[in-house]
Structure 1
């Protein structure tokens, strides 16, 4: 990991540990609720790994805080500016593409704003998000192929797509020029599934 990635991993690890401790949960309990291994939780909390977006989504949903809150604690400010280049790089493609979380809201209804670049040959596979999740994207440059629930959509610059993100889906660039798109993810009711269980702890 480079320095920026290491710093982000430490921030995420500290946030996960803080939220877990605030609930009085053990490492094993968080691992069980998130559907990941105990070793993965330990590695994330220690900041020694660069977890996948899927793992971060599992952890944030289990903790009921939403993915943006793992990158930066919620702020009481009425407005928050993210300057160009300051977003959280949460995915890096084999060929140089990047998925950058640039803004987000707090739970229970979490909205994430992403900036994606897919280099030629890059592909990002995403497992199904929580029930009711919607995704909206618009291609800014190049061409992107989205597969959602078995349906294939090819979008060119200026085209947009809205689809349910609670199914397995992927974004890919099978072309020989880079592609860039913005992505908005709406995830309603984050944490509701685990609140009653946490209360029974």
Structure 2
């Protein structure tokens, strides 16, 4: 039996357990014996449409929920890039619904960056160093282990505070990600 078919039983068990049902509960409602269901869940019985259709009906799912495609390699292999005094490391695949980055804000000479306003929301978590967050009329310094979440329609700017870089995890919605991480066109 293929590896994918062996996973059907584990998925059945997880779905049944998530609903708080016993083997007897699901087997009776699907018109099969508890031992047949147990053998399906443990991978000792070959799944067939005749057995799976009543189970999926009772669980309120489709066959695709039990037999999913093989999972692709989950590793993210995107190169970091530099932009406006930052080194940006993408942490999710291109096109992912979550826009997540590790950003190194390099120490700056001269004036801090200008305050910007745009649609979006941003969440930041400081991994190392100190991050200066100017948000509206506030001028804050976040240290390692501190986080902030803000509406980017409020004038804001982020930069390293002091002579050392600040390493930050940043999560944006689509609008915030376009402004902060994409290269100027």
> Per the shorter chain, which TM-score range?
0.3 to 0.5
Report the structure number with the largest CA radius of gyration. Answer: 2
Compute the TM-score of the two structures, normalised by the length of structure 2: 0.46
Compute the TM-score of the two structures, normalised by the length of structure 1: 0.43
Higher strand proportion: 1
